[in-house]
């Protein structure tokens, strides 16, 4: 069994927030664009439901994959900001899609969550325990953002994305992943139980992000006996355009095979890679089939990279 992406979807909240919104807290469009590449982001209203976005993204992905929700035995949602403390988002997403008795759970690995979830989904297919798996990334980071803290507030946005993984015997590549964590660095990026807002050492996170995503990508390529030239599109966690470009330079991915949409949506944590995949598809950057490289990095610290194929109808 070989897993590949056969459907992609994304959903964003309606409200677009331009950089000028942050002039009130001492920032500026010029500073934000220069240091991050971000131009705008979407905000979910305070009473908005993240499950609505996740369900919309999932339906689009299922439609493209030509699958009924009833085909799904597993629904995994990577998130750090679910609608409820318990139960997680995945059970509501599964129920609203109409997947009778699918296994459904949330996966929390901060911004690396979607790559962790992809690894899990591909493993379920490779082991023969599932024929189709829905992997979602959904975040309402505004729920854990201090709106007065310019060092984090300008970076974050809300949204959801989803992919359908199915068994594809002639997939362009056999999936491979490298996942890791280092809890010694919890203090660099966290939201604690009382404050509930993200606190971050930006410059330190920047250095770790470039180093860890590059290292993980090299390990995965080596394991598959591939080089960057074999990867058709590289989609890294969209934290900051400078971070993504630095990773591309470090591992040797040319700009035309590096995807960036952080300008449109900012950092949406575990939703960033599936939203980027949906935008890449809209922009005509994903052909009918190819080899995808992914890499992500987040609080913990957690990180990971992977390669897998896509085939889209």
Positions marked active-site? 111, 237, 267
Give dist(CA 215, CA 238) in Å, integer: 17
Please report how the helices 113-126 and 272-282 are oriented relative to each other, as an axis angle in degrees rounded to 10.
Answer: 80
Binder of ligand ACO out of 203, 284, 288, 313 (CB under 6 A) = 203
Using CB under 6 A as the binding rule, whether residue 79 contacts ligand ACO is answered as no
Give dist(CA 35, CA 235) in Å, integer: 20
| Cα dihedral 148→82→53→278 (10° resolution) | 80
Give dist(CA 299, CA 107) in Å, integer: 14
CB atoms inside a 10 Å sphere around CB 163: 33
- C-beta of residue 14 within 8 angstroms of C-beta of residue 167: no
CB nearer ligand ACO, residue 130 or residue 188: 188
Give dist(CA 4, CA 96) in Å, integer: 24
Using CB under 6 A as the binding rule, whether residue 17 contacts ligand ACO is answered as no
Closest separation in Å from C-beta 46 to ligand ACO: 19
Give dist(CA 120, CA 115) in Å, integer: 9
Using CB under 6 A as the binding rule, whether residue 33 contacts ligand ACO is answered as no
Binder of ligand ACO out of 2, 6, 19, 27 (CB under 6 A) = 27
Using CB under 6 A as the binding rule, whether residue 105 contacts ligand ACO is answered as no
Binder of ligand ACO out of 138, 189, 213, 221 (CB under 6 A) = 189
- C-beta of residue 165 within 8 angstroms of C-beta of residue 121: yes
Binder of ligand ACO out of 151, 181, 281, 289 (CB under 6 A) = 151
Give dist(CA 202, CA 21) in Å, integer: 21
Closest separation in Å from C-beta 191 to ligand ACO: 9
CB nearer ligand ACO, residue 113 or residue 293: 113
Beta bridge partners, 134, equal 75, 164
CB nearer ligand ACO, residue 60 or residue 269: 269
Binder of ligand ACO out of 39, 150, 185, 245 (CB under 6 A) = 150
Beta bridge partners, 158, equal 140
CB nearer ligand ACO, residue 122 or residue 238: 238
Using CB under 6 A as the binding rule, whether residue 298 contacts ligand ACO is answered as yes
Residues near ligand ACO (CB under 6 A):
27, 31, 35-36, 110-111, 141, 150-151, 154-156, 189, 198, 200, 202-203, 205-206, 209, 239-240, 267, 269, 298-299
């Amino acid at each position: 069994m070989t897993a590949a992406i056969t459907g992609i979807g994304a959903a964003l909240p309606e409200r677009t927030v331009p950089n000028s919104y942050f002039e009130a807290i001492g920032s500026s469009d010029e500073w934000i664009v220069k240091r991050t590449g971000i131009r705008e982001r979407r905000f979910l209203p305070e009473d908005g439901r993240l499950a609505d976005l996740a369900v919309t993204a999932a339906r689009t992905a299922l439609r493209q994959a030509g699958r009924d929700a009833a085909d799904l035995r597993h629904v995994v949602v990577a998130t750090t900001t679910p609608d409820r403390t318990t139960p997680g988002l995945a059970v509501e997403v599964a129920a609203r899609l109409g997947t009778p008795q699918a296994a459904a759970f949330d996966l929390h690995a901060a911004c690396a969550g979607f790559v962790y979830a992809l690894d899990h989904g591909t493993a379920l297919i490779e082991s023969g325990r599932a024929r189709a798996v829905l992997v979602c990334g959904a975040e309402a980071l505004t729920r854990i953002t201090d709106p007065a803290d310019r060092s984090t507030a300008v970076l974050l946005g809300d949204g959801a994305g989803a992919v359908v993984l199915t068994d594809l015997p002639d997939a362009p590549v056999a999936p491979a992943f490298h996942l890791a964590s280092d809890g010694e660095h919890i203090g660099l990026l966290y939201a604690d139980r009382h404050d509930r807002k993200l606190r971050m050492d930006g410059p330190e996170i920047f250095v770790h992000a470039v180093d860890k995503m590059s290292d993980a990508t090299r390990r995965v390529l080596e394991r598959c006996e591939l080089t960057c030239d074999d990867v058709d599109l590289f989609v890294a966690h969209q934290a900051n355009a400078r971070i993504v470009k630095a990773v591309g330079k470090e591992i040797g991915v040319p700009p035309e095979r590096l995807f960036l949409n952080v300008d449109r949506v900012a950092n949406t944590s575990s939703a960033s890679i599936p939203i980027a995949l949906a935008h890449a598809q809209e922009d005509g950057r994903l052909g009918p089939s190819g080899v995808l490289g992914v890499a992500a990095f987040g609080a913990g610290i957690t990180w990971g990279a992977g390669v897998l194929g896509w085939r889209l109808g």
